[in-house]
């Protein structure tokens, strides 16, 4: 794909001493896809908005960011940033703190009351969105931008889904969530809370909706049978976190054991500490290497005093004595009981072993479920039931808020095309910008900016936000660590190194053109381009 930052001039110069006929190859400007953008489940053009942020144009950066994601202040706090895992700078020193810059932009937008883009011209269509979690909020936002009327319904008393009822406030303060939801509602999205949809076809017919997007999440806690003399001491993590979010936390006691290995288990243990537990233990039947919880969350929990018993499972609870059994891997790598038991003190036991989706609302429809009990969907998030689309945790996917936001956007596009009578067409992806194409000598050493955190004492005793955001100075520095992989950023290297003055600077800043009458095809410009935005291609004969 040709670069949007540079063009080429055709042959036809009237200058003397032309050397273009010497060439066997010619340089062309290209635009490759940065690995950070390719890895973003929400579909953000990360490199694009970082380009604006590193110039200090934060409003333009935010405007580009919310083209894909309407919740940057939320996601800047809770996304586990797969973009940073793929960041090319990670092979040079440390990945760019993309997530922290996204949070900075989101917070600035809230502080300065920047509005989301205006809705598009009215389409005359009405769409029902069931569920106000990240998938539903994203779908509602993108549908409004496409000009559709949207009603967003949720059975809970407040909007946000698991963003509100599953993520503790020390990770996501509620004023941040409320501020970004309110901005979506300001676009004209109609919100109805406390309304449980029990039959999607009846709901659609009663409201005269042309299409439906199901974003019901996975809020049914899985349970396992654990012999316990007092069942009141055993509860599930979903109910527990929900009650804490409603300021009605259950009494756990001082010694709390959490069963599970995901982020919900970690959040439960960290929340228990804040509620007064002096001994919060996670019991997990595999090793740390196989634990699905993200490392940064687990490390934060352990810094707050949470302990973990690896290769251990719960056998039974008797009063305040919990019996656990050691596990060992068999030849196939599956954990198996060893017959070695140990007792722990436990005032309560919390089960965080997974969640299922309640899909009773689609019973009697043509919508199909896969073997995991979630809705089968097409590439445009459509189900087998006409006019019914779905996304988020109720569909086959990695269960994360970022994935859900991407589903909402894709579902909105799918609905829009369905209502117009068309079919979705996937654009061709540009070639990837790989690390080997970069000239990293151009970039100065720049250690990653670390976000400050609350001291341990306050983290253990309050629900204050743990991670502190970047200052404007730090955000600017961090954005400027971006290597602009695969995209010209106007550095003037090609202009400066060309021995034949065959690179012309155009009137628009940061844009160039090759004069092929004078270019000999030596390739120095491509070799010296720091971001790999110039290719050498065979000359046409």
Same domain, 228 and 347: yes
CA distances from 270 to 52, 279, 300, 418, 503 (A): 37, 11, 9, 45, 58
Under 8 Å between Cβ of 35 and 486? no
Same domain, 330 and 234: yes
CB atoms within 10 A of CB 292: 15
Give 177's Cβ-side CA count (13 Å radius): 25
Amino acid 219: pLDDT:
87
Using DSSP bridges, classify how beta strands 190-193 and 149-154 pair: parallel, antiparallel or unpaired: parallel
pLDDT value of position 241 = 96
238 and 348 in a single domain? The answer is yes
Same domain (yes/no): 165, 206: yes
Compute CA 360 distance to the chain's CA centroid, rounded to the nearest angstrom: 28
Q: Are residues 66 and 147 part of one domain?
A: no
Q: Domain count for the chain, please give it.
A: 4
Question: Would you state the pLDDT for residue 423?
Answer: 72
The b-or-e profile of 415-427 (16+ CB within 10 A means b, else e) is bbbbbeeeeeeee
What is the SS3 assignment for 485?
coil
Are the CB atoms for 323 and 342 separated by under 8 Å? yes
Q: Which of 311, 336, 353 lies at the terminal end of a domain, its last residue?
A: 353
In a domain, 533, yes or no: yes
Q: Are residues 374 and 303 in the same domain?
A: no
In a shared domain, residues 233 and 345: yes
Please give the Cα distance from 501 to 379 (Å, whole number): 48
**Model confidence, pTM:** 0.91
**Structural domain containing residue 526:** 20-31+488-538
Q: Are residues 334 and 280 in the same domain?
A: yes
Residue 101's nearest CA partner among 58, 67, 42 is: 58
Hey, is 224 helix, strand or coil?
A: coil
Same domain, 332 and 228: yes
Count CB neighbours of 249 within 10 A.
16
**Domain annotation covers residue 237:** yes
Q: Give SS3 for 144.
A: helix
Q: Specify if 39 maps to a domain.
A: no
Contact 396, 377 (CB under 8 A): yes
Q: Let me know whether 211 and 328 are in one domain.
A: no
pLDDT in tens, 86-134: 999 999 999 999 999 999 999 999 999 999 999 999 999 999 999 999 9
Choose among 216, 255, 262: nearest CA to 241.
262
State the DSSP code for 382.
B
475 plus 492 within the same structural domain: no
If the chain, 541 residues long, is cut into consecutive pieces of 10 residues, what is the mean pLDDT of each piece? 49 47 86 94 95 95 97 97 96 95 98 96 97 98 98 97 96 97 98 96 96 94 77 86 95 95 96 96 95 93 95 90 92 92 93 92 93 92 96 92 97 96 76 91 88 89 94 96 92 92 86 90 93 90 62
Asked if residue 346 and residue 254 are part of one domain, the reply reads yes
User: Residue 217 and residue 394: Cα distance in Å, rounded?
Assistant: 5
The 3-state DSSP class for residue 223 equals: coil
Q: Does the residue 36 lie in any domain?
A: no
12 found inside a domain: no
C-alpha separations of 141 from 113, 169, 182, 226, 346 in Å = 17, 24, 11, 43, 45
User: What dihedral do alpha carbons 356, 360, 361, 364 form, nearest 10°?
Assistant: 130
What pLDDT score does 470 carry?
95
- Strand, coil or helix: what is 369? strand
Residue 408 forms part of a structural domain:
yes
Return the half-sphere exposure (C-beta side, CA atoms, 13 A cut-off) of residue 269: 30
CATH code for position 295:
3.50.50.60
Query: For the segment 335-349, what is each residue's pLDDT rounded down to a tens digit?
Result: 999 999 999 999 999
Q: What is the pLDDT of residue 14?
A: 42
């Amino acid at each position: 794909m040709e670069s949007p930052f540079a063009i080429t001039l055709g042959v036809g110069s009237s200058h003397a001493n032309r050397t273009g006929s010497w060439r066997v190859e010619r340089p062309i400007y290209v635009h490759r896809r940065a690995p950070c953008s390719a890895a973003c489940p929400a579909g953000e053009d990360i490199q694009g908005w970082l380009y604006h942020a590193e110039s200090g144009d934060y409003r333009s950066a935010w405007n580009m960011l919310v083209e894909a994601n309407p919740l940057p202040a939320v996601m800047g706090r809770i996304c586990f940033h797969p973009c940073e895992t793929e960041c090319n700078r990670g092979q040079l020193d440390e990945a760019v703190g993309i997530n922290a810059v996204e949070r900075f932009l989101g917070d600035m937008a809230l502080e300065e009351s920047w509005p989301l883009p205006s809705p598009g011209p009215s389409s005359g269509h009405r769409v029902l969105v069931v569920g106000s979690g990240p998938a539903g909020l994203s779908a509602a936002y993108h549908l409004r931008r496409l000009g559709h009327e949207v009603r967003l319904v949720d059975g809970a008393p407040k909007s946000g889904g698991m963003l509100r009822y599953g993520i503790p406030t020390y990770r996501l303060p509620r004023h941040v969530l409320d501020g970004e939801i309110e901005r979506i509602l300001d676009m004209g999205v109609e919100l109805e809370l406390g309304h449980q949809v029990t039959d999607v076809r009846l709901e659609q017919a009663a409201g005269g909706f042309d299409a439906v997007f199901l974003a019901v999440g996975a809020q049914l806690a899985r349970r396992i049978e654990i012999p316990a003399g007092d069942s009141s001491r055993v509860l599930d993590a979903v109910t527990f976190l929900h009650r804490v979010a409603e300021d009605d936390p259950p009494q756990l006691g001082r010694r709390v054991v959490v069963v599970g290995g995901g982020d919900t288990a970690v959040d439960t243990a960290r929340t228990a500490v804040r509620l007064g537990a002096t001994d919060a233990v996670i019991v997990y039947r595999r090793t740390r290497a196989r634990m699905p919880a993200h490392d940064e969350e687990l490390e934060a929990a352990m810094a707050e005093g949470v302990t973990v018993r690896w290769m251990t499972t719960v056998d039974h609870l008797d009063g305040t004595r919990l019996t656990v059994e050691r596990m060992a891997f068999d030849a196939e790598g599956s954990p198996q009981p060893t017959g070695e038991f140990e007792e722990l003190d436990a005032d309560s036991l919390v089960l965080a072993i997974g969640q299922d989706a309640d899909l009773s609302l689609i019973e009697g429809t043509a919508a199909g479920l896969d073997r995991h009990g979630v809705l089968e969907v097409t590439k445009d998030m459509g189900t087998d039931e006409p006019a019914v689309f779905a996304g988020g945790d109720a569909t086959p996917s990695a269960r994360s808020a970022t994935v859900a936001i991407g589903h909402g956007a894709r579902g909105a596009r799918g609905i829009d095309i369905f209502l117009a009578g068309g079919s979705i067409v996937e654009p061709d992806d540009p070639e990837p910008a790989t690390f080997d194409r970069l000239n990293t000598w151009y970039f100065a050493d720049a250690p990653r900016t670390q976000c400050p955190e609350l001291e341990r004492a306050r983290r253990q005793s309050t629900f204050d936000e743990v991670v502190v955001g970047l200052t404007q100075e730090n955000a600017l520095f961090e954005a400027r660590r971006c290597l602009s992989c695969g995209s010209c950023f106007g550095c003037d290297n090609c202009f400066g190194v060309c021995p034949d003055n065959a690179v012309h600077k155009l009137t628009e800043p940061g844009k160039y053109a090759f004069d092929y009458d004078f270019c000999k095809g030596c390739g120095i410009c491509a070799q010296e381009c720091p971001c790999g935005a110039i290719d050498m291609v065979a000359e046409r004969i």
